[in-house]
Structures are given as structure tokens and as C-alpha cells.
Amino acid sequence: MNRILTLVWLLLLFGCATSKKAPSDREPYVLMISFDGFRYDYVEKYHPPHFEEFIKKGVAAESMIPSFPSKTFPNHYSIITGRYPGNHGLVDNNFFAPDLGINYKMSNPETVDNPDFYGGLPLWQLVRQNKKNSASFFWVGSETKIHGMYPNYWLKYDDGISNEERIQTVIQWLTLPKEKRPRLVTLYFSLVDHTGHENGPESAATGQAVLEADRLLGRVLSELEKLELDIDVIVTSDHGMMTIEPDAEHLYAIENLVQGIDPTKVTYVNGGTLVHFYCTDEMAREELYDRLNRSQKHFTLYRREEIPASWHYRNERVGDLILNMDPGYYMRSQKSIDVILATNKTTGVHGYDPYATREMHAIFYARGPQIAVGKRIPSFENVNIYPFVAALLGITDLPEIDGKLEVLQPCLRKPLK
């Protein structure tokens, strides 16, 4: 009788133990979340509780250094390819591509969908080449057929899709049958960037946006807790944000700068912090250089071949001559300047040299079964995320990249075999 009772007790004990959450799929998964425009110091500044708890249980970088220029499109694509913009070809949010004879515009679906603009091998495609599935709910490059393929699951960018729907869809992907389930998922949120642009990084509105981002992160983590998967989560951003004062000293009108320039010899693309000038010949470039240099104030001119080597930016799609604004100064149309001056509204911008402007720095936090706990690492360049994610997924055969695994290897609980 006692033996029977003992057996029943053991069966009950075993049943209770196995009813607790125990990973049924020991293969690694990675979820990478980008909060656009989330500056490196927002957690310390606004104390979002889910972010703070996430950091305690994982790894946090002092900051993450964007690639130059510190803009959304080139940096999201640098993260996902492990290459600097000068090497992957998406050199700005908007630019002219002499090799293709057309302008790239982030607002133009025809150019966004054109794979000829995109070099490098995105992580989604790398994962697929390794016979695994990948997915992306919005990320630069994910809606483009690069190297003949998309992620297994992806959507056309639509800012009208709610953040809650994005989270629900990602969780649905991760609950698919194993053979269909993505091993790499990327997820994008824009709210912090939008608010930072509209109100500046020091505003109460931006603080509220950070707390809303915190709520979204909490929702994601809560849903992931219900899954029996080994998921490493990376939380990152593309760039930071800097305040622009609403006065005539800090705002430059592009019309005044280009007045009198012969449009048959020089065209330009104004990116606010960076202006690309494309010239028909050397004489036109030197004439323009001399002319702009005479009016130089709060910006620096570079011929393409003189661009600082640390920027990795001497690509033919970069202007023959570029004008780089000093931090805190911005190039706009006269019309938009008039509106800002009339409303006296402080705004926020990014795009400055990230190696000289800490306000441009982004975030990198990671947590999961393969990630060290309570570790702080120095600032690093964003191209190093690529080999780290590949390593988490057990992928060792990588394409040509600029990132190096040894930079983020200290983030791992155990060294790679």
C-alpha cells in the first residue's frame, strides 16, 4: 500500500513539474526590436521600468554608434547587413545614384522596392540560405527582393498599422508549426522618433513616448513568456536625437545657398544635416567648392575623396561635394523655417557625425538564454550586430561584412565553441 501511495505521489510530483513552462524547442530564436530614434540616454533620463528590468537581466551597451550619416534608412540597413552605408550603397534617406541614373527617395515605393539600390546580404536572407525561416514586421530592406528573395514573412510599410497589431502578428509567427516558424524576427516601432522630431528630445512629449515604448516592450516580453521557445531578444535603435533651437541662427535656408547655381552643371539633394551636390565635371565642382567656402559658416565642405576615412563613406552615390552641418544647425526650405520661427517650436533632428556627436548615439540591450546577465559593455559600432545575431542562430558561414563577432562576443553567457 505504501509503495502504491509513493508511486502515486511521484507521478503527481512529476506531472506538476512537467506542467510548468519547459522549452519544447531547444533551437535558438532571435527577436530584434528597433525603437526608431531612441537615444542612448533615454532610459537614464526617463526611467522606463520594463527597459530597466530588461537591462538588469541582460546586457547593456554604454551606447551604440550609428554609421554615418546617422539617418534611419542607412542605419537600419547597416544593422541588418553588417556593412557601412558607403559599402552597402544606401547612403542616405534620399540621394542620387549615378550608377543607376535615378534618385532614391525613402517616400517613393518604386525606389524602395528596387533591389539595385541594396548591397550586402540582409540577415533575413542569410537565415533563409541556411534553411531556416525569417520574418520582418517593417524594417528597411525587408520589402525588397534582395538576392532574389524576401524574408519568409514580411509586410509593406504602413504607418497606419497599430503597434498592438504588430506585436500580435509577431507572436502569431512565433507560434506557427516548427517547420514554418521564423528563427529570426525583426520588429519596428516609430513612435519615439516621430515625437522626438516634433517636440525635441528634452520635451515632456518625448518622455511620454519613451514610456509608451516601454509599455510596448512590456507587452512583447509578456507574450514571449508564454511561449516555450529559447528566444534571445535584442532591443536597439538606429540613431539618437538633438534639439534644434527655433531661431534664424540655427536654421539655414537651402534656397539662399544654391541661388545662382547652374542646374545643368550641379544638382543637389538636401538631407538637413547633409547636402549632396552632384556635379557634371571637375570644373563645376571646384567652382561650387570655392563659392560655398566663401560663405562657410557652421558647416564643413568635403570633396568625396576627402571625406574622413572613419566614415567609410566614399561611395559614388555620395555627392561629388558634400556639405556637412555642424551639430545644432540644420538646412531647411525657407517655407519650413518661416513656420518654425512663427510658432517658436523646438524640434529634434539627427544625421550628424556620430563619431563626434554623442547625441546621435543609439541603444543596444540584449537578454535571453544565450546572453550574459547584468553585464555592461563599451560603446560599439552598429555593424557588429550582424555577426552577433548570426552566432546566436548558429550560423558561422558569413558573407563579406564590416562587423566583427569579437566585439559582442563578451555578451554571451558561454564562449562559442
Question: Distance (Å, rounded) from C-alpha 259 to C-alpha 256?
Answer: 5
Buried b (16+ CB within 10 A) or exposed e, 310-335: ebbbbbebbbbbbbbbbbbbbbbeee
Q: Which of 307, 323, 345 is the last residue of a domain?
A: 345
Q: What is the pLDDT of residue 297?
A: 84
Q: Indicate if 175 and 196 belong to the same structural domain.
A: yes
Q: What is the pLDDT of residue 224?
A: 97
Q: Indicate if 331 and 304 belong to the same structural domain.
A: yes
Q: What is the pLDDT of residue 4?
A: 36
Q: Indicate if 123 and 32 belong to the same structural domain.
A: yes
Say which CATH number the domain at 389 has. Answer: 3.40.720.10
pTM of structure: 0.92
Number of domains in the chain: 2
Q: What is the pLDDT of residue 16?
A: 36
Residue 153 lies in a domain: yes
Residue 177 lies in a domain: yes
Q: Indicate if 290 and 150 belong to the same structural domain.
A: no
Q: Indicate if 201 and 110 belong to the same structural domain.
A: yes
Q: Which of 317, 345, 373 is the last residue of a domain?
A: 345
Which range of residues forms the domain containing residue 178?
Answer: 25-243+355-411
Cα 315 → chain centroid:
20
Residue 350 lies in a domain: no
Residue 382 lies in a domain: yes
Residue 5 lies in a domain: no
Question: Distance (Å, rounded) from C-alpha 42 to C-alpha 53?
Answer: 14
Residue 327 lies in a domain: yes
Q: What is the pLDDT of residue 226?
A: 95
Q: What is the pLDDT of residue 376?
A: 97
Residue 10 lies in a domain: no
Q: Indicate if 121 and 43 belong to the same structural domain.
A: yes
Residue 61 and residue 89 in contact, taking contact as beta carbons nearer than 8 Å:
no
Say which CATH number the domain at 307 has. Answer: 3.30.1360.180
Q: What is the pLDDT of residue 417?
A: 59
- Going from the C-alpha of 397 to that of each of 45, 126, 147, 215, 391, the distances in angstroms are 40, 9, 17, 37, 10
Instruction: Give me the helix-helix angle, 163-174 and 204-225, nearest 10°.
Output: 20
Q: Indicate if 226 and 338 belong to the same structural domain.
A: no
Strand partners, 349: 242
Q: Indicate if 166 and 189 belong to the same structural domain.
A: yes
pLDDT tens, position by position, for the chain (417 residues)?
333 333 333 333 333 333 334 344 579 999 999 999 999 999 999 999 999 999 999 999 999 999 999 999 999 999 999 999 999 999 999 999 999 999 999 999 999 999 999 999 999 999 999 999 999 999 999 999 999 999 999 999 999 999 999 999 999 999 999 999 999 999 999 999 999 999 999 999 999 999 999 999 999 999 999 998 999 999 999 999 999 999 989 999 999 989 889 999 999 999 999 999 999 999 999 999 999 988 768 999 999 999 999 999 999 999 999 999 999 999 999 999 999 999 998 999 999 999 999 999 999 999 999 999 999 999 999 999 999 999 999 999 999 999 999 999 999 998 775
Residue 112 lies in a domain: yes
Comparing CA positions, the residue from 65, 67, 63 lying closest to residue 377 is 63
Q: Indicate if 327 and 210 belong to the same structural domain.
A: no
Q: What is the pLDDT of residue 14?
A: 35
Q: What is the pLDDT of residue 361?
A: 99
Q: Indicate if 234 and 102 belong to the same structural domain.
A: yes
Question: Distance (Å, rounded) from C-alpha 305 to C-alpha 282?
Answer: 13
Q: Indicate if 239 and 260 belong to the same structural domain.
A: no
Sequence-distant contacts of 394-403: CB under 8 A, at least 24 apart: 394/28, 395/126, 395/127, 395/130, 397/130, 398/82, 398/126, 399/120, 399/121, 399/126, 400/83, 401/81, 401/82, 401/83, 401/120, 402/82, 402/83, 402/84, 402/87, 402/312, 403/82, 403/83
Q: Which of 326, 345, 364 is the last residue of a domain?
A: 345
Q: Indicate if 231 and 278 belong to the same structural domain.
A: no
